[in-house]
Structure 1
Amino acid sequence: MTRSFLTDAASRRTILKSAGLLGAAAIGAPMIVRKAFATSGELNLFSWGDYIYPEMIEGFEKSTGIKVNLATYGTNDEVFNTIRASGGAGYDVINPSVTRTPQYVEFDLLQPIDEAKVNIDKIIPSIYESSKSLGGESAGKRFNLPFNWGTESLCFDKTAVKMGYGEASYGTLWQPEFAGKVTCRANSIMTGIGLYLDASGKVPSGRMVDTYKDEASLRRVYDEIVKFALENKASVGQFWTNAQETEAAFKQNGCVIGQIWDGPGMRMMTEEPDRFAYLAAKEGAITWLDGIALPKNAENLEQAYAWINWYYTPENAAIHVMKSGYNSCTADADKFAGDVYAKNFAAAYPDDAIANLWWWPPEETALANIRNEYRDKLLAS
């Protein structure tokens, strides 16, 4: 299993405190002080739909003079296919999941990052180190730096669903009383089902790690997962593909429980704390690490590095945290993110939830394609 940088931590604040003690000595990279650009051209940024906010763009443009052109996507497949179609051209910075980096490297779509130009000591040291084995490095070269991390787990309307940590399970989604009122994403709901079937002893999978070993292991487990998913498909009121659809499922389309990203869940908790809760499932919240990468034919490299270092400033990264509900990989960003963020984080990951996180492993293209076959089967049936 891929080693988690949070495995032995009790809380995010503990992680950050430890990171601060390690400091620059753990990283060894010099701090690069970027000069402000008076008239410094443009940055073509391609990011997730709920990652970059007007306040971030305004702050960056004001401090650097660089104009940001933002385009957004909703899935890892969307950004990968776009960059592959263009041969790594058209954008200067993208935010793919770190575990997807091997697929970009396989098709020669990224350029190595010059870490001498990056304030590496501003990244949480444990995350920086773990991101290497999660896919951020290949053949000794860095292709993807940590941007943020978050989870996919259970969100529910507290007026309709009553449950606490330790009882909340991915299996809860399929209880008869929630029929037609569940929202989920087609590919990752099968991971949640797999974790539930493994924990209940019905379909052992080594906590789903077996499905990342080889095709035979993947198909053995996924044949049972998709069977379960199809038998319970009528429970799904809405499949979601992006954060906006997730919130609409709860607020407009009658869903009361779902497996969703923490960002939308945290935002709904903030807006309506008496109604919504986001909570780690007892099988382990499904956890991802998204990164910062440079497409092979990016044209505005100086501007790209300026953006990276702007984000690796805790006050700036905190804007992303407060607006998105996700967790930054910039050290000390949480100190500037406010009490609401701290309260939501503690509520979502109580007790041993952090130690029990389930991390997406790196994945070969061939296995990713097979997993997509099962996703398509679920959607088409």
Structure 2
Amino acid sequence: MTLKTAFRMSVLLSVLLAGAAPPATAADNITVFDWAGYEDPAFHPAYTAKFGTEPDFSFFGDEEEAFQKLRSGFKADLAHPCSQSVAKWREAGMLEPLDTAKLTSWNDILPGIKAMKGLMTGDDGKAYFLPFEWGNTVLTYRTDTVKPEDVASLKAFADPKFKDRVSIGDNVDDAYALASLAIGVKDWTKLTDDQFKQASDFLRAVHKNVRLYWTDNTDLSQALAAGEVDLAWAWNETPTTLAADGVPVAMKKDTVEGLSTWVCGYVRLKGGEGSEEQQYGFLNAITDPAISPYLVESWGYGHSNAKGMAAVDPKLLATKGFADVDSFKANTLFQSPLPTELRQRMVAEFEKIKSGY
């Protein structure tokens, strides 16, 4: 039994032993629009204990897909976008302001995240985004088939020696974070037309090597574990879970160009039909400091709750690369909110690249 499975079972058992509340009615239950995997009960045990039910979950592959689905009328109460998309969703009028007085951990969010311009609040001064997790997209490789010196640079993704052995996400943000870093850019909000072309040309070179554009961690993990790919642009979760299962993989955080850092969290959606009490109950459950150790150890991500992170074993934080949570942006491209026009150019160009154009 893996650590993650054991923790999930213990969470569910504790809820049962505590005596759950009567299940919410279908009309009241909330729907969370999320990335696959985040339905994990270990992320919100306090919610389950209080309401006696799990939220309903619906899933998306990337934030552009989520944006288009919501804009076309899909109904949900909460959603889980990341730093680079929050401004776009807010400007599109999709979000309800947060009542921070109902958020028990609002004042405990890591200072480094609070300081990120345009992330948590809009120009109107209202809060719209509650950070949950943060981490990296980083070069990940099979240690039994790839030598560390062969992946000293992110340019390895375009090296012909890795033809048909590469996987990157079917995710425009991670793709252009990789490409921006590869051409020497760390502030992607200021890409010039020439730099945009260089980044796009790099992704076209990478496309020649791609065996799989992964859409969730399960797809990528299976491909790496089976030896179908040797090199991936992956989230912390992938090498963390694979290493726990004995698969020979490692992260290469010290590439010449660095890595990418992102922050994701939850928003309230306009038109949500579920219970407001349950919406805030979920938001408070996922930011409870008790979640921090599990998120760090089993998923390899940092938690937004400063008190929770401070209570995590320092040795564990060092192992996962979070020894100094205030400097996690060092040598990184932070996926900060992009100008809407630039991101739309990326979306359109990435679709062409994946189609071979």
Q: Which of 274, 284, 294 is the equivalent residue of 1:309?
A: 284
Indicate if the aligned counterparts of 1:128 and 1:145 stay in contact, CA closer than 8 A.
Answer: no
Q: Which of 52, 70, 83 is the equivalent residue of 2:57?
A: 70
Q: Which of 278, 289, 292 is the equivalent residue of 2:251?
A: 278
Partner of 2:343, secondary structure, is helix
Indicate if the aligned counterparts of 2:94 and 2:269 stay in contact, CA closer than 8 A.
Answer: yes
1:184 is aligned to 2:168 = yes
CA separation in 2, counterparts of 1:236 and 1:348?
Answer: 33
Structure-to-structure mapping, 1:341-380, within 5 angstroms: 342=317, 344-346=319-321, 355-380=330-355
Q: Relative to 1, partners in 2 of residues 1:133 and 1:302: Cα closer, same or farther, differing over 3 Å? A: same
Q: Relative to 1, partners in 2 of residues 1:308 and 1:190: Cα closer, same or farther, differing over 3 Å? A: closer
Aligned pairs, number: 328
- Aligned-pair CA distance for 1:331: 2.4
1:124 is aligned to 2:109 = yes
Write the deviation string for residues 325-356 of structure 1: whole angstroms up to 9, x where unpaired: 3221122434676789536413999xx97521
Q: Which of 73, 95, 115 is the equivalent residue of 1:110?
A: 95
1:264 matched to which residue of 2? 238
- Aligned-pair CA distance for 1:290: 0.5
- Aligned-pair CA distance for 1:297: 1.7
Indicate if the aligned counterparts of 2:186 and 2:333 stay in contact, CA closer than 8 A.
Answer: no
Indicate if the aligned counterparts of 2:158 and 2:202 stay in contact, CA closer than 8 A.
Answer: no
CA separation in 1, counterparts of 2:113 and 2:21?
Answer: 28
- Aligned-pair CA distance for 1:142: 0.8
- Aligned-pair CA distance for 1:98: 2.8
CA separation in 2, counterparts of 1:224 and 1:374?
Answer: 12
Write the deviation string for residues 32-72 of structure 1: whole angstroms up to 9, x where unpaired: xxxx9666542221211122313345552123435411222
Aligned residues: CA RMSD? 3.0
Write the deviation string for residues 263-300 of structure 1: whole angstroms up to 9, x where unpaired: 12221122226x11013233221111111100012232
Q: Which of 172, 182, 201 is the equivalent residue of 2:156?
A: 172
Letter aligned with residue 191 of structure 1: A
Q: TM-score, normalised by structure 2?
A: 0.81
- Aligned-pair CA distance for 1:301: 1.3
Partner of 1:293, secondary structure, is strand
Indicate if the aligned counterparts of 1:169 and 1:282 stay in contact, CA closer than 8 A.
Answer: yes
Write the deviation string for residues 160-186 of structure 1: whole angstroms up to 9, x where unpaired: 112179x72211223343222111135
Q: Relative to 1, partners in 2 of residues 1:301 and 1:58: Cα closer, same or farther, differing over 3 Å? A: same
Structure-to-structure mapping, 1:207-356, within 5 angstroms: 207-209=185-187, 211-213=188-190, 217-252=191-226, 254-272=228-246, 275-280=248-253, 281-299=255-273, 300-334=275-309, 342=317, 344-346=319-321, 355-356=330-331
Q: Which of 129, 132, 144 is the equivalent residue of 2:129?
A: 144
Structure-to-structure mapping, 1:14-93, within 5 angstroms: 41-56=28-43, 59-86=46-73, 90-93=75-78
Q: Relative to 1, partners in 2 of residues 1:332 and 1:272: Cα closer, same or farther, differing over 3 Å? A: farther
Q: TM-score, normalised by structure 1?
A: 0.76
Partner of 1:82, secondary structure, is helix
CA separation in 1, counterparts of 2:92 and 2:176?
Answer: 27
Letter aligned with residue 160 of structure 1: T
CA separation in 1, counterparts of 2:336 and 2:297?
Answer: 27
- Aligned-pair CA distance for 1:129: 1.8
Partner of 1:108, secondary structure, is coil
Write the deviation string for residues 185-214 of structure 1: whole angstroms up to 9, x where unpaired: 35333432332222xxxxxxxx253x524x
Listed as ranges, the gaps of 5+ residues in structure 2 are 1-19
- Aligned-pair CA distance for 1:242: 2.2
Indicate if the aligned counterparts of 1:123 and 1:312 stay in contact, CA closer than 8 A.
Answer: no
